[in-house]
Amino acid sequence: MVQLDQFDRKILRLFQADTRLTTSAIGDEVGLSATACQRRINRMRKNGVIEAEIAVLSPKGIERPMTMIVEVMLERGEARLIENFKALARNREEIQQCYYVTGRADFIIVVSMSDMEEYEIFIKEVFFDNPDVKSFETSTVMNRTKIGFNLPVM
């Protein structure tokens, strides 16, 4: 586990809210030089505290207004089936997020679609044609109330 001090935590709170902030602006906020902030950010990138720096796109803006949350139940809880589904999820661009979970489902996935026709094709390819999938249940998102990956940094 990586040890983070109070400066690292302040930097992370600012950085995850807006990765476009300059190291000078971050430094002004946390009380360090721009160079010291850059070194700390680079260290946190290198040691995996900062996993990625991404753009959050508007689904409507790119004509993918439908989001579905799908619970996926596999035929059996075998390691091979689990690893196969993880690989499938990593290779499907429509799957934004995939979680291997406890409870009645084996996986929860979040998918982005342009319309129901595209979703119908997706479920045929990913679920109906997949002998490892026992069943699935879809919830269609009606309103995107909150989106983000920000974590509380204490």
Alpha carbon of residue 56 to chain centroid: 11
Q: Which DSSP symbol is given to 1?
A: -
Could you tell me where the DSSP H helices lie in 31-127? 34-46, 79-91, 116-123
Instruction: Please give the pLDDT value at position 77.
Output: 85
pLDDT digits (tens, 9 = 90+) for 11-60: 999 999 999 999 999 999 999 999 999 999 999 999 999 999 988 899 99
Residue 1 reports pLDDT greater than 90: no
The pTM of the full predicted model, rounded to 2 decimals, is 0.86
41/11 Cα distance (integer angstroms)? 8
Contact of 67 with 141, CB cutoff 8 Å = yes
Contact of 68 with 113, CB cutoff 8 Å = yes
- Mean pLDDT over 1-11 rounds to 93
Residue 2 reports pLDDT greater than 90: no
Task: Label residue 154 by pLDDT band (50, 70, 90).
Answer: confident
pLDDT digits (tens, 9 = 90+) for 60-110: 999 999 999 999 999 988 999 999 999 999 999 999 999 999 999 999 999
Find tokens 């075998």 and name the residue.
78
101/103 Cα distance (integer angstroms)? 7
